[in-house]
Structure 1
C-alpha cells in the first residue's frame, strides 16, 4: 500500500463533513440482522468503495474473487479528498455500497453511525474470529461486537540502511533496540558527511506521525486515546518521546527539510541512500521504490521505546464492512467470509505478495524479512479508536501536529507543549 501521504482521511473534506457525520443514520433497506445472514454465491452484483493508493491489493483481491465466484464485485475508487463527504451524503440518502472499505481510523465513526453490520457471530462461526489483524479488529469493535475485518494491512517500523551502518562502524545485523541506541547510530551516520543524515521522519504529515511516532509513546506502556475516545497527551511518556525526537533533530541527525515534509518523502528520502534510519512502515519496501532492485542493503526493525525489549507498532490499512443499507448482505458476507479465510490469506494475499488479514498463517521465509518482519509486528498492532481522530490528530491545524513540531523543530519544552496540546484536544473532544 502506498504511503506517500499518510493524512489518512483527506483532512480538508473531513473538517467539512464532521457535523454531517454526527447526524448520519446508517440503517435503511438491508436486513441488518446477523442471525439471518447466510453466505450466498448466486450471481449478485455487489458494490464496493475503496480509497486510493491501495489498488495493488484491493483490486487484485477483488479480481481473484470475481474470477472464482458467480457474485461479481464492482469497485469504486473514491478520491481521498471526497471520501468522508461522499460517505456522509450516501449514509443520509440511503445509497451506501454493499461493502465499505475505509481507513481503519475511520471505523469508529462508521460504527457509531450505525452503518456497518455486526459480524461477530458470523466470524465466530467461520473460524476467523480471533485470528485477524488485532488493530483492524480494535478499530472495528464497539461494546465487544465486531463490525469490520482487515482488507489491507500494513504496520509501522523503521527501515535502516545497512550499507551506511557498516560505513559508520555499526553492526548492520544489529539494529538499535532503544532510543539511546538509535541516537548513537544516527550520530555516527550523520558524521559520515556528504549530505548523509542519521534519521528521517515526515515531520509535517500528521497521519504519518500518528503512524510512526505514536509507537514511541505506546512502547512505554502509555495509551494515547482513552476509553471514551478523548486523548491523553499531558503525560511523562509523551514528553519523553518528544524529547527523543527533539534530541535527534538538535544533533543534526534529522534534516531541516523534514519539518515541511507533508508525506511525499515518507519513503523517497530513504530511497536516496542518504538516510540511516527512516521511521516509516513495512509496506514501502514492497514498492518499486525499494523492493524491486534496491541500490543498497536495508533492514527492518520495530520502533522501540526507551528500554530494551520494549517496542510498539501502529497497524494501519483498511477495514471492510457490510453496510446496513446493503440489499445483498448474504452475498456481501460471501465476499467477507472468503476474504477472511486462511486459504485466501495464503493463496491470494501472500502470493501477491501482501500482508495477510489472518495472523495465524505462515509467511514463507522466501519472501524475506520485508514480509516476515511486518507480518510478525502486525500481531502486536495498535491503532487509534476515537471519533475525534480527524480534528485532533489528522488535521494539519490540530494539536497533535502542533505539539510535535513545536518541540522537535522549534525547541519548545515538552512539558509545556503537551499541556497546550491537552487543552486543545479537550476543547475539541468536548464539543
Structure 2
C-alpha cells in the first residue's frame, strides 16, 4: 500500500491522548454496515435517511466549511446533524478524552495530519465497502483516503481541502518586465522571477516565507521535492529523506534568495501566525501559500495562481485540510454515512463547496459552473490530483512542533552554512522512530 502525505498541524498528539484512544477503541475494524440479504451497493453508497440525530465534531479552523455543509444537509434531509465546534488547540485532547470514555460523536472530522494515529488506535470504523460503492469513488482526492488506510482498510474521506500553491502579483510582474500570464514552471524560474521583481527596489521584495515555522516549510517546500519525483519519508513515515540531493536542491534555491536579500524583511523570524498576511499588502512578487487565502486577496492588484514546481519542473501540492469518518462509538453508522456520502455528492460539492470558492474533493468536479468563472480556482482544484498528504505517526512532534528536529534542520541549512544537515537529519529520524 502506498501511503500519501498530509497537512499542516498546530499541535502534537501527546502520548496520553493516544493512550486514551487505544484503551477505548482497541483497533476495532467493524464496518458497522447493516447485515443481511438486503444489502446492495446502492444502500452501502447512500446509507439511510430515517430521521436520526447525527452528532458531529469539528475544529474551529474548519467551522465555516463544516457549518455550511451541515446546514444544507439539515435543510434537505430527515436526518439532522448536530455540529459541535471545538477550539482548534483543544481539539485533540478533547477527542482523546472522549475516546477514553467511549463518547466520540457519530461523525469525527480531524486534521488529516493526525489521521494515522487515530485510525491505528481504532477510533474510526472501516468504511472501505461504503467508499468503494460510491459512483465517484475513483474521483475522490485519494491523498486523504490513503493516509487513513490501514492494512488495506479505508477509514476516512476528504472533508475540507487546503492546498499549497504559488501566488504571484501580476502588477509587479508587468512592472518587472515579466509576462503576467506566464508564472514560473520550475523552482529555478521562480527564483529568477523573484529576483526580477526585487530589482524594482523600494518596499518591493521578491518573495517571503515563514522562516521560523516548521509547518510553513513542509506545506510550501515539500511540494517541490515531490514534483521532482522524490519522497520526503519512507512509506511508514519512520525514515527521513530530507538530506537527500532532491531536498538539498530545493533548500539551495531558497538559500540563494536569502543570501542575496531577495526575501522581505522579517522572513527569518516569521513563526507562522502572520506569514500569509504579507503578500496581500502588494509588495511581494511571488510566494507559495495556502489556496484558502485566495478569497482574502485585495482588489488593489491582480493575483495570479500556479502550481508549485520542482527545481527543474513538474508540479505538486501539499494536500491538507480535514478528513472525516464514522467513529467507532457510533450506533447509527448508516445514518452517519448518509451525511458523509452526501457531502461528497454533486450537489454539496458544487452548490456548497465550489459556490463558496473552496476546493472541491473530487477531481471530476474541478471545472464547474463556479470555478469556471475564475480560472485560478480550476488551477487549484486540478493540482489537488497530483498532490500528496504525508504519512507519519509522529508528524506533529517531528515537523510542526517548534521544538522538534525539522525546524533546526532547515534553518541551519538556509540561514546557516548547511554543514550539520546529516546530523540534523539523524535527529529527524530519531523523532520519527521514537
In the TM superposition, what are the counterparts of 1:166-315 in structure 2 within 5 Å?
166-230=174-238, 231-286=240-295, 289-290=296-297, 293-308=298-313, 310-315=314-319
In the TM superposition, what are the counterparts of 1:27-426 in structure 2 within 5 Å?
32-34=31-33, 36=35, 39-230=47-238, 231-286=240-295, 289-290=296-297, 293-308=298-313, 310-361=314-365, 362-364=367-369, 365-409=371-415, 411-413=416-418, 416-426=419-429
* C-alpha distance in 2 between matches for 1:64 and 1:312: 32
* C-alpha distance in 2 between matches for 1:374 and 1:174: 16
| Conserved? CA contact 1:154–1:316, under 8 Å | yes
Decide whether aligned partners of structure 1 residues 212 and 225 sit closer, same or farther in structure 2, where only a CA change above 3 A counts: same
Give the match's secondary structure for 1:61: helix
* C-alpha distance in 1 between matches for 2:346 and 2:424: 43
| Conserved? CA contact 2:168–2:305, under 8 Å | yes
* C-alpha distance in 1 between matches for 2:324 and 2:276: 26
Cα deviation, residue 417, structure 1: 3.9
Deviation string 1:80-132 (CA, Å, 9 cap, x unpaired) is 21111111111111011111101111111111011111111112222232211
| Conserved? CA contact 1:43–1:70, under 8 Å | yes
* C-alpha distance in 2 between matches for 1:155 and 1:340: 18
Deviation string 1:286-336 (CA, Å, 9 cap, x unpaired) is 2xx21xx5210110111111113x111111111011001111211101101
| Conserved? CA contact 1:9–1:83, under 8 Å | no
Give the match's secondary structure for 2:267: helix
Deviation string 1:319-378 (CA, Å, 9 cap, x unpaired) is 011001111211101101211223321232222232112211232354312311100101
Deviation string 1:111-158 (CA, Å, 9 cap, x unpaired) is 101111111111222223221112211222223321111110121111
Deviation string 1:400-419 (CA, Å, 9 cap, x unpaired) is 1111211222x222xx4431
Decide whether aligned partners of structure 1 residues 21 and 9 sit closer, same or farther in structure 2, where only a CA change above 3 A counts: farther
* C-alpha distance in 2 between matches for 1:261 and 1:429: 25
* C-alpha distance in 1 between matches for 2:27 and 2:399: 31
Aligned-residue CA RMSD (Å): 2.2
Cα deviation, residue 66, structure 1: 0.7
TM-score, normalisation: structure 2: 0.90
Decide whether aligned partners of structure 1 residues 221 and 418 sit closer, same or farther in structure 2, where only a CA change above 3 A counts: farther
Decide whether aligned partners of structure 1 residues 217 and 33 sit closer, same or farther in structure 2, where only a CA change above 3 A counts: same
TM-score, normalisation: structure 1: 0.91
| Conserved? CA contact 2:205–2:264, under 8 Å | yes
What stretches of structure 1 of length at least 5 have no aligned partner? 1-5
Match of 2:3 in 1: none
* C-alpha distance in 1 between matches for 2:310 and 2:20: 36
Decide whether aligned partners of structure 1 residues 198 and 30 sit closer, same or farther in structure 2, where only a CA change above 3 A counts: closer
Decide whether aligned partners of structure 1 residues 22 and 258 sit closer, same or farther in structure 2, where only a CA change above 3 A counts: farther
* C-alpha distance in 1 between matches for 2:194 and 2:433: 41
Decide whether aligned partners of structure 1 residues 47 and 341 sit closer, same or farther in structure 2, where only a CA change above 3 A counts: same
Deviation string 1:213-240 (CA, Å, 9 cap, x unpaired) is 1111111211112112213222111111
Give the match's secondary structure for 1:257: coil
Decide whether aligned partners of structure 1 residues 315 and 94 sit closer, same or farther in structure 2, where only a CA change above 3 A counts: same
